[in-house]
Structure 1
Amino acid sequence: MTATQAPPVARQGIGDRVAAVLPVLREHARRVDADATFPTAPLDALRHSGLMGLLVPTAHGGLGGGLDDLVRVAAELSGECLSTGMIWAMHCQQVAALAVHAGPELRADLLPRLAAGQVYVASVTSEKVKGGHLLSAHAPLRREGDRVHLERDAPIVTGGSNADGFLITMKDSDTAQPADVSLVYADRAQLTVRHAEGFSWDPMGMRGTHSGPLQLSGVVPESAIVGGAGGFREVALRTFVPVGHIAWASCWLGAARGALRAVLELVRSPAGRKQFDLDSDLLRARLARVRLDLDTTAALIAQVVRDTGLAPDPEAPDVQLRLNGLKVHAAERSFAVVDALVEVVGLRHGYLRDAPLPLERMFRDLRSASLNYANDRLLGANGALVLVDRGVGLAL
C-alpha cells in the first residue's frame, strides 16, 4: 500500500464508522451486562473503525474531530451499550488532554498510535486519601535526572485492567503541596500493574466498565508529563473537566434517547397498537415530558460545547455554573427519562430482565450517573457560584 492509498476505513465519514460498529455493540450488550464482562469485541471494533482517534489531529493520522463529533458519537454508542459508550468517551477525554497539552516528543510518539487504535487510555485520578477530588494529589513523583518514578494506589480506574496506557495525576514532588498536581502519561509496558487481592466486580449497573482498584508503579521520561510540571490545573480547567462533563452527559443522553427509540418502536408497532392507546392523554403527556427532558439536556450540552470553545475565561462563574449544571442535569434527567418509560410500558416490557426492550438494563446503568463524581458535590460548588454571579449571567 502506497502513502497515497489509505485503507478503506480511512475514507469513511464519521457517521459511516459509527454505523459499522453499532451492530457489534448491540450484539454484545446483553452479555456484557449479564456477565459483567469488559466489552472486548466492541472495543476491538472501535479500534478498527478509527474512532479511538476521533479527537487526534489529522496531522497525526487521526480523524481531527471536534466536540460536536464527540457528542454525536458518544450518544449513538451509548444508545446501544452505555458501558461501551462510557469507556470510549472517557478514552476520548484522555486523548483530548494529550492532543492539546502534551509536549512535542510525547505527541509525536503517542498520537499516531492513538489514531491507529493501538492505545486505549484509562484515567487515574482517584486516590484513597482524597477520594475523587480532582485538583489535588498525595502520591508524589520522584525524579532521577530526566527520569520520573511514580507509585500510585487508585481505588477506581474505569477499564484499567484492559488499558494500554494511563493518564495519572500525581503530586509533583515530595515537597510540593497537594494542589501542585502533574498529569503523567505511561504506557502499560512502562508500569507494573497490580490488581487488588480479593476484589470482585459485581455492580448494579455499568457492569462492563470494570471500575476497580489498581496499584501502578514505574518509570517514565520527564517528557511524559502533560501540561508541564504541576500544570494539571490548567489542563483540567481548559480541557479535562469540560470534555469529561460533555462526554459523560452525551453518553447518558444517548442511553436515554435509545430507551425512547425502543419504546416508540414498540408502541407504534402493530402489536403495540393493540396494547397501548396512542390517543391516551396520559400516554402522550408522559412521552411529551420525556422528549422535553431529552431536548433540554441536548440544548445544555450544545451550550457547554460553545462555552468550551469560545469562553475567554473558563473559571467565569456563569461558565462553571453551566458546566457543573450539565453533569447534574444530564445525570438526573436521563435517569428520570428511563424511569418514566418503565411506567409507560409497564412491568412486562420495562421491568423484567429478559424483556426485549433494554429498559431494565438502562435503568440500572443510569442510576450510576449521579454517583459518577457526586451531584451533591457539584451542587454545593454551584450554590457558592450563584452567590458570586450577582448579574445572573445566562446564555442568552
Structure 2
Amino acid sequence: MSGGADVLALARAAREVAAEHAEDVDAAGRFPHEVLDVLRDNGLLGLLVPRDHGGLGGDLRDLVAVTSRIAEGCLSSALVYAMHCQQVDALVRHAGRELRAHLLPRVASGGTYLASITTELGSSGLLTCDQELVPDGEHHVVRREAPVVTGGRHADGFLVTMRAAPDATPRQVSLVYADRDQVEVTAGPPWASLGMRGVENVGLTVSGRVPDGQVLGVPGGFADIAVESFAPVAHLGWSAAWLGAARGAFGELVRRIRRTDGVRADPRSELVRHRVARVRVRLEAVGGYLSGVLDEVLGAHERGSSLAGASCQIHLNTLKVLAAEETYAAANEMVELAGLRAGYLRGSRPPLERLVRDLRSASLNHDDAALLTSSGALCLLEPTVTTLGPDPRSVCR
C-alpha cells in the first residue's frame, strides 16, 4: 500500500491534533493521550497489521512517512507511535499463528496500544537480561522490573524481554507478550527530563502468568528478533521522527524569515542565506540516507534476506547516529538564525526551544557511542567496504 494518499491524510489529521496539544504535553510532562485517541480511532495503530487481520497492510515506507508527519506537530507523539509500530512489526514477523490471530485484530481495531519492556537496572544492553521466565505448567511466570518504559502507564499490552529459563544464560533472552489483564502493573513517577517529556518514560514492574504461546519466535532467540525487527524499525522510525520534527520547524522558520515575521534574520543577507542553506544540507543528508537505508531494508524483506550482514548493520547504525547528530545540529543552527526572542524563548514560533531540548535526547536514545563501537568492530571484520549506494555490493544478502 506504500505511500497511499489515505494513509497520509490520516497522518496529517494526527499531526494537527499533535500540534494543538504539543505545548501543554511538554509543559505538563504528560502523555499525549489526545493523539493516541486519534490513532486508535483512525486505524493508524494497525498500520503494519496485514489486511487479513483487519489492518491497513502498510510497510516500513508507510511507517516512515506517517511518523515524520506526526513529528511535525509533536516529536513525543511521533516517537510513541514509532515505538508502538516496532512492537507490531515484531508480532507480525515473529509471533505464532494463534497469538497473531488473537492479538493483531485488536491492534488493528485500535484497542491495543503496545509498549516494550526491554531495559534493566544495571545494564545498558538490549540483548541480555537477568530476570527469568519461570515455567508453570502450560504457562510462564513473568516478573519484570524495568527502569524506563515509554508510555507504560497507558499500554494495553507489553512485549517483554526475559532470560529464557532459570537455567539459561543472561544472553539467552526470550521475547514474550503480556496482556494488560494478565499482569499486575506498578508504575513509578514519570521522569523529570529535559526534553521528550511527552513520551512519559516511567519505571515499571509487571508480574503475572502468560500462556506458552505468547513467547515470540524460538525460546532464547530474541537476538534474531532484535536484528531482523526491533533494531531496524527503531532506527528507521526514530530517524523519521527526528527528521520530521526538524523539517517542520525549518519550514516554518523559512516562511517567517521570508516575511521578516518576528525573527531577526534578514532574507537579503548573504550570511543568512548561507546559514539557511547549511541547515537544509543537514536535513537533506539525513533524508537521503534514511531513504537509502529504507530501500535496503525493504529490498531485503522482498528477497527474504536477513539483515544480519555486516554492511546492513553498519548502515542501520550509521543512520541512527547521522540522524541524531545532524537534526540536533540543524536545530541549534535554527536557534542562531531565529535569534534570542524567536529561537530561545519557550512558547516561541516555531517551537525551537522545545525542539532543541527534544533532539538533545536523540544521541542518548540507544547511545550513539555504543552503536559506533559496534559499527567499528563490524568494519574491522568486513572483507570489503560496502557503502550505501548504487554499488550492488551494498545491499543486504
State the TM-score bracket (shorter-chain normalisation): over 0.9
Q: Could you report, residue by residue, the CA deviation over 1:242-291 in whole angstroms, capped at 9, with x for unpaired residues?
A: 11110111111111101101101211226469x53223221111111111
Alignment of 1:1-396 (within 5 A): 13-131=6-124, 133-196=125-188, 199-269=189-259, 271=261, 275-311=264-300, 312-395=305-388, 396=390
Q: Does the 8 Å CA contact 1:126/1:156 hold for their aligned counterparts? A: yes
Q: Could you report, residue by residue, the CA deviation over 1:14-55 in whole angstroms, capped at 9, with x for unpaired residues?
A: 012112222211110000001101111111011111111000
Q: Does the 8 Å CA contact 1:129/1:138 hold for their aligned counterparts? A: no
Q: Could you report, residue by residue, the CA deviation over 1:135-185 in whole angstroms, capped at 9, with x for unpaired residues?
A: 111111011221111100100100001111100001110001111111001
How large is the RMSD of aligned CA atoms in angstroms? 1.5
Letter in 2 for 1:215: T
Note the residue ranges of structure 2 that are not aligned, 5 or more in a row. Answer: 391-397
For 1:270 and 1:319, how far apart are their aligned partners in 2? Answer: 45
Q: Does the 8 Å CA contact 1:55/1:96 hold for their aligned counterparts? A: yes
Q: Could you report, residue by residue, the CA deviation over 1:100-125 in whole angstroms, capped at 9, with x for unpaired residues?
A: 11101100110000001111100111
Deviation at 1:309, TM superposition (A): 2.5
Letter in 1 for 2:10: R
For 2:260 and 2:237, how far apart are their aligned partners in 1? Answer: 37
What secondary structure is seen at the aligned counterpart in 2 of 1:99?
helix
Letter in 1 for 2:77: T
Q: Could you report, residue by residue, the CA deviation over 1:304-342 in whole angstroms, capped at 9, with x for unpaired residues?
A: 212222343422221111111111110110111110000
Runs of 4+ in 1 over 6 A off after TM superposition: none
1:8 matched to which residue of 2?
none
What secondary structure is seen at the aligned counterpart in 1 of 2:198?
coil
2:394 matched to which residue of 1?
none
Identity %: 45
Letter in 1 for 2:255: E
Letter in 2 for 1:310: G
2:393 matched to which residue of 1?
none
Letter in 1 for 2:279: V
For 2:218 and 2:190, how far apart are their aligned partners in 1? Answer: 37
Q: Could you report, residue by residue, the CA deviation over 1:70-98 in whole angstroms, capped at 9, with x for unpaired residues?
A: 11111010111011000010000000000
Query: CA 1:127–1:135 in structure 2 vs 1: closer, same or farther (change >3 Å)?
Result: same
Note the residue ranges of structure 1 that are not aligned, 5 or more in a row. Answer: 1-10
Q: TM-score, normalised by structure 2?
A: 0.93
For 2:179 and 2:76, how far apart are their aligned partners in 1? Answer: 23
For 1:174 and 1:353, how far apart are their aligned partners in 2? Answer: 51
For 1:22 and 1:310, how far apart are their aligned partners in 2? Answer: 29
How many matched pairs?
A: 382
Deviation at 1:390, TM superposition (A): 3.9
For 1:271 and 1:177, how far apart are their aligned partners in 2? Answer: 61
